[in-house]
Amino acid sequence: MPERPQLAARVQAWLDAGIVDSATASRILAFESSREHRSSLRWPVFVALLFGAILLAAGVTLFVAAHWAELSPAFRFTLVVLMVAIFHLAGAFLAERFPALSITFHAVGTLILGAAVFLAAQIFNLHENWATGILLWAIGAAAGYLLLRQWPQVAALALLVPAWLIGQWEISTEHTRGGYRPLALFLVLTSLSYLSARIADQQSSARRMLVWIGAIAVLPCAGIAVALSQSDNIRNYYANSAVPGSTLAILWTVAAGAPLLLSLFLRGRLVWMNVVAALWALAFIFVPARAHTFDARGYVNSFGWTLVLYLLCAAGSAGLVAWGLSEKRRERVNLGIAAFAVSVLFFYFDSFMGKLGRSFSLLLLGVLCILGGYALEITRRRLLARMESAP
């Protein structure tokens, strides 16, 4: 809801333009004022009930853990099922009476489902790989979203499916070399797919949640991708065997295909922008292995390839800004500016700081942070102003 001064200015503009009369304007202001008042009264109750639900879940978990050894397998399994069912039943009961608390209870039920899956495996001594448990948890979250259409299940699904794929990845490539670069590509493309889930002002709680996850994950995933690419160098040196060709083909197909299929579903014909981002990411994950090689002497740095790596980072940052401007998404512009700043700082630490005197390097770093930060902030504001004024 707009803040009250902004709303009053808008209503006055409508009144001056003759869109509404004075009586309608007064009713709009009175209605929005009553909504604001009711919302402010609801927050303390909502926070108290939210913490109550969390404490209840924690208390039940601790009680079960304290008496777990004393319970029979049948009673353990019954208790596990009840823990999941009770929270979902409570959410269904409160759906009409208190929708926010209903969403909270359903979210707690979805979280407890993961514990229930792994506890059931422990009860019956099932010796399956742990990634299968995450898959079952993800299937439960998907079923919850199909039934409820709520954002917590979207968040769980968006985290659990990649976690399952990464788990299978690790199991399939254990003690072999050559499997880290597809994983690096998968992480970068998945975070970009989430980040680009919304175009302009699309209103969808599921898409908003995906954008939040992508915005939080994209820069860490880029850093992890660099580390994984360099880790493949270490595996190439120590591992005795390479990933089989058929397995490697599947890994690359999943790494590129799964995020792009998700983007096709979310964005339709605009998926071509994600394809361009995939081409950038493919170059991005191969360059770090050239910039920092590993052999019997340890790490060997190549300044030329290091420069190429940071130029790719700068190009990716500029591309993210341009992507945000073209689709009127502020978070992409902000992340692009932040990524450029992080790239400059890392380039300075990686290539220059160790070659300068201690005092001069710190002095130069301070000047770089102050002047660079000011220039980037002015640029960010101008870009956002241009985006807002664009038709």
The model's pLDDT over 28-78, given as tens digits with 9 standing for 90+, comes to 777 766 554 444 445 566 677 667 767 766 776 677 677 777 777 787 788
Model pLDDT, residue 301: 64
Model pLDDT, residue 9: 75
Lowest mean pLDDT among 34-43, 89-98, 160-169: 34-43
d(CA 340, CA 338): 5
Pair type for strands 298-301 and 176-177:
unpaired
- State the Rg of the chain over Cα: 26
Model pLDDT, residue 142: 92
What is the DSSP-derived secondary structure letter of residue 196? T
Question: Can you state the angle between helices 22-67 and 73-93, rounded to 10 degrees?
Answer: 170
Who wins on pLDDT, 357 or 55? Answer: 55
The pLDDT confidence band at residue 114, using thresholds 50, 70 and 90, is confident
CA of 365: how far to CAs of 347, 351, 372, in Å? 12, 13, 10
d(CA 187, CA 226): 11
In single-letter form, the type of residue at position 128 comes to E
d(CA 299, CA 177): 18
d(CA 335, CA 337): 5
**304-326: average pLDDT:** 88
CA of 134: how far to CAs of 116, 124, 138, 167, 278, in Å? 11, 17, 6, 9, 27
d(CA 361, CA 291): 23
Other C-beta atoms lying within 10 Å of the C-beta of residue 135:
18
The encoded tokens of residue 112 equal 């407890």
Q: Is 216 exposed, middle or buried (0-12, 13-18, 19+ CB in 10 A)?
A: middle
Average pLDDT, the chain: 80
Model pLDDT, residue 33: 64
Q: Nearest 5°: phi and psi at 293?
A: -90, 165
pLDDT at 294 over 80: no
d(CA 280, CA 277): 5
The share of the chain scoring above pLDDT 90, in percent, equals 22
**Is the CB of residue 237 less than 8 Å from the CB of residue 204?**
no
pLDDT at 320 over 70: yes
Give me the sign of the Cα torsion angle 320, 325, 329, 330. Answer: positive
Q: Which residue pairs from 113-122 have beta carbons closer than 8 angstroms and sit at least 24 positions apart in sequence? A: 113/84, 113/137, 113/140, 113/141, 114/160, 115/61, 115/80, 115/83, 116/80, 116/81, 116/83, 116/84, 119/76, 119/80, 120/77, 120/80
**Is the CB of residue 94 less than 8 Å from the CB of residue 102?**
yes
Model pLDDT, residue 216: 93
- pLDDT tens for each residue of 192-217: 999 998 887 777 888 889 999 999 99
- pTM for the full predicted model: 0.78
| Three-class SS state of 3 | coil
* HSE-CB of 57 using CA atoms within 13 angstroms: 23
